[in-house]
A = this chain, B = another copy of it.
């Protein structure tokens, strides 16, 4: 099993990052504008023709940690978990990100790793400035979008 790991630091308070990770409005501000569902149950993230993901919220610790399990989406994603850990460091809120439990390091995993980085920078921009770059206006990184 292999994992995608990332780390970004933001100058906004942890409460603001936590809200961006746990509310439909917040998630729509940096990941995809087509976010819906139950903030304590299953969240649905859609990306137009590309499809999307359903995430069951496994854990929510205010200002500290959010954890999801992928319940629907591409085969490679199902059963994987996505975790955001928040810590504080000299006025920065640090987001440690892990998308864990991939079966194989397939080419699609390489793509998702780079794509997650761009979305985490969109999260940073969203909590710092109020404007992120969620799909469909996300950063294009390749033929796979």
Q: Chain A, interface size: which category?
A: 20 to 34
A96 at the interface (CB under 8 A from B): yes
Bound form: Cα–Cα A8–B96 in Å: 22
Residue in B7, B90, B96, B107 whose beta carbon sits within 8 Å of that of A7 in the complex: B107
Question: Would A3 and B139 count as touching, CB distance under 8 A?
Answer: no
Binding site for B on A (CB under 8 A): 2-10, 89-90, 92, 94, 96-98, 105, 107, 109-111, 113-114, 117-118, 120-121, 124, 139, 141-144
**Could you list 11 examples of A-B contacts with CB < 8 Å?**
A2-B2, A5-B113, A6-B113, A6-B114, A7-B111, A7-B142, A9-B143, A92-B143, A96-B110, A98-B110, A114-B121
